[in-house]
Structure 1
């Protein structure tokens, strides 16, 4: 376990697990959200985003958290281990609600000066409200990654499908 891709729905714990696992295996922790979102959540153009990701992966040991399709070939293709956090929708939703409320109340910076805003949390638009995004995209993530399990795309890697917080804790304890 030297190059690890962590995937899963928003709020599943990808970034948290990436930081903990990177520390355990003495690797660089890479958050794709941080590389993608600029100031005011401005998206990074695809060529620049791919360049940033490729540069970040130019090391012997890394743990990447994120689901961006435009860099899957780089991240998943270079990974020796892929961890899929396939947690139940209710658990992910409750986690992301707590996380979002904490971020708003504490004015916690996410990345590049970006912060959660109250108005985003009351929007019904999944492009604005991360809670709605997580709820509406959960099934799509499951379908995508189930497909990868049975296709050649992940065949080169050791794939771990974790379906509970207990399984995540067990993985961390075993490293």
Structure 2
């Protein structure tokens, strides 16, 4: 099965994608890991798209990430798109909590990049928290449009509004896979 988990930053898409990949014994692919270069440099499409295409050549995967400009690549053979659409306050709380944990731990976000959260970045206009605030509603509008777009009628979309729904979906998908 090929699954793309999407949602605004802080929604819990990475956590759900990892849990799904483990439960389904499928490779976990993180778009941010494929995307970000050292020192927070963004790749060109010519650099990024082939990396994504190569990663998606597997028979099954759980892909964590949005990057709408890649829809034609990642959704050409996807079976299921799961949209994690939690309430704004919950999403914002999760984004802030995660950012603070990353600042304090100084964990390298994607191996080999040296990219780490910092106090300066956290309070800047480039902050993932500010990104979440600015893009929460437009992200919701975008996924509502995409779900209704006839171009994607071959895709099964599931919209999750709570962690409880996410856990139930994992159980359901494992049950289906086991046959």
Point out 4+ residue stretches in structure 1 off by more than 6 angstroms: none
How far does the alpha carbon of each residue in 1:83-131 deviate from its partner, in whole angstroms, 9 at most, with x for none?
A: 00111111110001010100111111211221101001112x1xx1100
The CA distance in 2 between the partners of 1:148 and 1:55, in whole Å, is 24
The CA distance in 1 between the partners of 2:32 and 2:101, in whole Å, is 19
- Contact 1:54 1:74 survives alignment (8 Å): yes
The CA distance in 2 between the partners of 1:91 and 1:153, in whole Å, is 32
Matches within 5 A, 1:113-128: 113-123=114-124, 125=125, 128=126
How much does 1:173 deviate? Answer: 2.3
Partner secondary structure for residue 134 of structure 1: helix
> Match for 1:149 among 147, 150, 153?
147
> Match for 1:165 among 163, 166, 169?
163
Matches within 5 A, 1:84-99: 84-99=83-98
Query: In structure 2, what is the equivalent of residue 82 of structure 1?
Result: 81
- Contact 1:81 1:157 survives alignment (8 Å): yes
Matches within 5 A, 1:12-23: 12-23=11-22
Unaligned runs of at least 5 residues, structure 2:
175-179
Partner secondary structure for residue 23 of structure 1: helix
Task: Normalising by structure 1, report the TM-score.
Answer: 0.94
How much does 1:74 deviate? Answer: 1.0
- Contact 1:46 1:70 survives alignment (8 Å): no
- Contact 1:6 1:82 survives alignment (8 Å): yes
The CA distance in 2 between the partners of 1:37 and 1:118, in whole Å, is 20
The CA distance in 2 between the partners of 1:45 and 1:19, in whole Å, is 27
How much does 1:36 deviate? Answer: 0.8
Unaligned runs of at least 5 residues, structure 1:
none
Partner secondary structure for residue 78 of structure 1: coil
How far does the alpha carbon of each residue in 1:24-61 deviate from its partner, in whole angstroms, 9 at most, with x for none?
A: 11211111111111101110111110000000000100
